[in-house]
Amino acid sequence: MLVYGDPKFEGSLQPLRARLQRLAEHALDYPHDLDRLRALLILCGQLEQGAQDLAAQPQHADEAIPWTGQLQLATTCAAEAFYSAAYRQPMGLPAPRVESGVALGALLRTLEDLRSAPDLRLTVKVPEGFGIYALYPEQYMVAAAHWAADHRPQRGQGVVVVGIRSIGTTLAAVVSAALRAHGWQVQSFTVRPAGHPYDRRVDISPGQIGLAAFGLIVDEGPGISGSSMAATAGALVKAGLERRNIAFLPGHRHGPGGAGADEVQTWWRTTPCYVAETKHLSFAGRPLQEALASMLPRPVVHMEDFSGGQWRQAVYPDASRWPALCTAFERIKYRYTLQDGKRVLVKFLGLAGISSELASGAEAAATLLRQRAAQGLGAPVIGVGVGFVATEWVEGVPMEPGALPPERIDALGAYIAHVAGPPMPHDERRHAAERLTEMLYANTCEAFGKEAAQRAQCYADAIISPAHTYGDGHMQPYEWIDCGGHRLVKVDSVGHDCDHTLIGRQPVAWDVAGAVVEWGLDGKAGARLLKAFSAAGGAVDPGTLDFYRAAYLAFRLGQCSLAAQVHDPGERARLMYAAAHYRHLLAKCLDSMLAA
């Protein structure tokens, strides 16, 4: 079933270059500010990725290829500046080849040279590791240092670093900077593997390797198959490298999920892997969790890891009350208890740029949360740092599915209208509907067969998309906290339009459909919700809502079915029950269409 997707945004090169230049100018005033330099590095890598992918398209190659080298150079300069600041942390790294200020000056000259480039239209990906899974460039600097220590006698033979796009532009640059600091001669380039996700293909020419004797492949994976890194390794061997001289620098130690072919699995069993976890890093001289505590207003007396659904242990009396959670899609989060007894939730919302404004996911989320807190629609923001956002912990009891009193239905409808985002451009609305239509067909076909899937596609004929975007994306009852005194507060309300699913930005009808489904608001209750939504300024056509309701059900069916492939029997049972529930509701939708 279709569930996963790649978050991305569109942007024109010159406005993006100008914004990046302003960020580099500000960084030059703070040449040792690691947070600024990390953001600059990641954004340079994102722009390079957009240009490299454009250059790989035959119809755009002539206009894009002349400028990819300059954009790669920009990422290289940003990586040198970042390394120069990061090596000062107690991570056992050698001194940099160039100082941060010098590298930033080179970056600014490179960006100025790009002023004469055509205003290329770029599709910029949001690297999942930086945007969703709390991966840091520093991890790859440490991993590269470990590899360099193991290969000190061969240092004169040269190494080629191959980054796998999207994230590979940034990772290849930062690994190369680290290896140069260790005295290695380094070449680097990036590739975009093609083909089936479980059987990728990569082409590398001998000229790209040059005289290098060793090859390092860097990526945020492996995923379920591991085929991208394995295919790149195979391509390096075909281009002339010895197999025994290739190593992987992946994002974790767990290896691929086993979906790849035997050859892929052999590569992963036999290839050395160098991984550095966040516990090996230092942020202003402190481990990550201590660094997060330092941005809070008072001393911390207790910290709890709430990632992967662990928050349920703290808010429910026993596991029988736990809601089903697709834990693979949960953000990393911690709850801190302060000296005065107050509690704070600190959640990872992203280091990477998520829009053409180049704000990071955390910065964009914090801005939204502050606006909503000022309107009484969420918890106040306490701090932002290293991709995390800290907000006050909302004390109360999570809501559960069941009949809602009229005033709470009204509050739900008004909330959806009040938090709705700006209007979506026509082309974006069209692409968003196409994603959902494809997913609706595929997931319905998997659940009920081709005839039902073709019938489900007819829902798309009735779409009259509302112009505004949804403002939340998660309408499950457990994300509404009953604080007593008739006060409800919505939590987990941002970042869902840039997660690892295919949903992305959608019209506000997505939130309306989610509320109808998750709260079971049929008949009079559903009509009341729509009335409250309309009274607060929202608008959705009934035929359009039918489509989004069917699409929501098909997506949640797929997501819960996929997530049910977990080892914990309790979680598996909850998810299988939830998947059966969504399947039943989707079948009713399809039956009602047939009856009509």
Give the pLDDT confidence of 201-237 residue by residue, as tens digits: 999 999 999 999 999 999 998 988 999 999 999 999 9
Examine the domain organization and report whether 319 and 383 are in the same domain.
yes
Give bridge partners of residue 480 from the DSSP assignment. 490
Confidence of residue 596 (pLDDT cuts 50, 70, 90): low
321 SS3 class = helix
Examine the domain organization and report whether 241 and 324 are in the same domain.
no
The token pair that represents 530 in the structure block: 């729509």
% residues pLDDT > 70 (the chain): 99
Give the pLDDT confidence of 51-84 residue by residue, as tens digits: 999 999 999 999 999 999 999 999 999 999 999 9
In this structure, are strands 214-218 and 388-392 parallel, antiparallel, or unpaired?
unpaired
How many folded domains does the chain comprise? 3
Among residues 280, 307, 325, the one where a domain terminates is: 280
Among residues 280, 303, 335, the one where a domain terminates is: 280
Per-residue pLDDT, averaged over 325-351, amounts to 97
Report yes or no: 522 and 549 within 8 Å, Cβ to Cβ. no
Give bridge partners of residue 577 from the DSSP assignment. none
Whole-number pLDDT of residue 344: 98
Whole-number pLDDT of residue 343: 98
Confidence of residue 134 (pLDDT cuts 50, 70, 90): very high
Per-residue pLDDT, averaged over 372-398, amounts to 96
Examine the domain organization and report whether 326 and 418 are in the same domain.
no
Q: Is the pLDDT of residue 266 over 80?
A: yes
Query: What are the distances in angstroms from CA 365 to CA 360, 361, 388, 457, 565?
Result: 8, 6, 10, 34, 31
Examine the domain organization and report whether 153 and 185 are in the same domain.
yes
Examine the domain organization and report whether 167 and 237 are in the same domain.
yes
Q: What share of the chain is helix, strand, coil (3-state, %, to 5)?
A: 50, 15, 35
Confidence of residue 154 (pLDDT cuts 50, 70, 90): very high
Whole-number pLDDT of residue 259: 80
Per-residue pLDDT, averaged over 169-190, amounts to 97
Residues of the domain holding 73: 8-280
Give the whole-angstrom CA distance, residue 370 versus residue 383. Answer: 11
Give the whole-angstrom CA distance, residue 159 versus residue 215. Answer: 6
Among residues 368, 392, 416, the one where a domain terminates is: 392
The answer to pTM > 0.85 is yes
The overall longest dimension of the chain from CA atoms, in Å, is 76
User: What residue type is assigned to position 304 of the chain?
Assistant: E
Examine the domain organization and report whether 74 and 165 are in the same domain.
yes
Give the whole-angstrom CA distance, residue 470 versus residue 239. Answer: 48
In a domain, 2, yes or no: no
Q: Is the pLDDT of residue 113 over 90?
A: yes
Q: What is the mean pLDDT of the chain?
A: 95
Examine the domain organization and report whether 263 and 363 are in the same domain.
no
Examine the domain organization and report whether 464 and 359 are in the same domain.
no
Element (DSSP H or E) covering residue 200:
strand 199-201
Q: Is the pLDDT of residue 277 over 80?
A: yes
Q: Is the pLDDT of residue 466 over 80?
A: no
- Which residue intervals of 127-210 are DSSP H helices? 128-131, 137-150, 168-181, 206-209
In a domain, 1, yes or no: no
Give the pLDDT confidence of 486-503 residue by residue, as tens digits: 889 999 999 999 999 999
Element (DSSP H or E) covering residue 512:
helix 509-518
* pLDDT higher at 302 or 223: 302
Examine the domain organization and report whether 372 and 510 are in the same domain.
no
Q: Is the pLDDT of residue 595 over 70?
A: no
In a domain, 182, yes or no: yes
In a domain, 452, yes or no: yes
Per-residue pLDDT, averaged over 391-412, amounts to 93
Whole-number pLDDT of residue 221: 86
Q: Is the pLDDT of residue 297 over 90?
A: yes
Give the whole-angstrom CA distance, residue 466 versus residue 473. Answer: 15
Per-residue pLDDT, averaged over 518-522, amounts to 94
Examine the domain organization and report whether 339 and 200 are in the same domain.
no
Q: Is the pLDDT of residue 253 over 80?
A: yes
Per-residue pLDDT, averaged over 336-361, amounts to 97
The token pair that represents 411 in the structure block: 């509050």
Give the pLDDT confidence of 524-574 residue by residue, as tens digits: 999 999 999 999 999 998 889 999 999 999 999 999 999 998 889 999 999
Query: Domain holding 496: CATH number?
Result: 3.90.1200
Examine the domain organization and report whether 211 and 318 are in the same domain.
no
Examine the domain organization and report whether 257 and 387 are in the same domain.
no
Q: How many CB atoms lie within 10 A of CB 388?
A: 26
